[in-house]
Amino acid sequence: MTGIDDHLMQIKSKLAGKIHDAQIIADSRLEIRTSPENLLDIMTFIAQDLEFPSLEAISGVDWDTYFDVVYHIDRWDGDSTVIQVRVKLDDRDDPKIPSVTSIWASANWHERELFDMFGIIVSGHPNLKRLLLPDDWDEFDHKHISELYPMRRAYTLPEKPFSYKPQPKEDV
């Protein structure tokens, strides 16, 4: 039995009631599908029991009718397995997902990017604030919620896009 097969067997036996699906989707990639309410239990199991110490990325995907949040987790010990956890968020007007920063500190900026670019609220995040957009982005005249979040499919540039105007430097 290979490492990825063993990981899949452990996930299916220990997390059966918490996952929607788990399968090998490529030679060294395992995908788990779950819901937001089970995310922390699954991620804790992956980090502690399966000993996957490295959260590499968190990505948002806008499918028009729902969002997916996709986590990529791997190891440094020669096991080439990557575990991909996919969480479906059906509520487009108020999408929420729990923070995994208590498990992997590396989630911090990824979660802030989810908030900033997609409007996904990451509950329990230690410092959920804008990362890429200006702090006053919400205060501009927007026609629709989609104009607040540039990575949403419906995003269109406002008629007068934001432009940064640097303040003149004072002579020292």
Question: In the structure encoding, which two tokens stand for residue 71, read together?
Answer: 């986590």
Q: pTM value?
A: 0.84
3-state secondary structure of 33: strand
Q: How far apart are CA 93 and CA 71, in angstroms?
A: 22
Q: What is the pLDDT of residue 93?
A: 87
pLDDT of residue 135: 77
Q: According to the model, what pLDDT value does residue 130 have?
A: 87
Which tops the pLDDT comparison, 155 or 5?
A: 5
In the chain, the domains with their CATH numbers are: 3-148 (3.30.460.80)
Query: How do residues 10-50 score in pLDDT, each as one tens digit?
Result: 999 999 999 999 999 988 999 999 999 999 999 999 999 99
From 98, 13, 93, select the one nearest 85 (Cα to Cα): 98
Instruction: Give the pLDDT confidence of 117-163 residue by residue, as tens digits.
Output: 898 999 999 999 988 877 777 666 655 555 677 777 777 666 655 55
DSSP 60: E
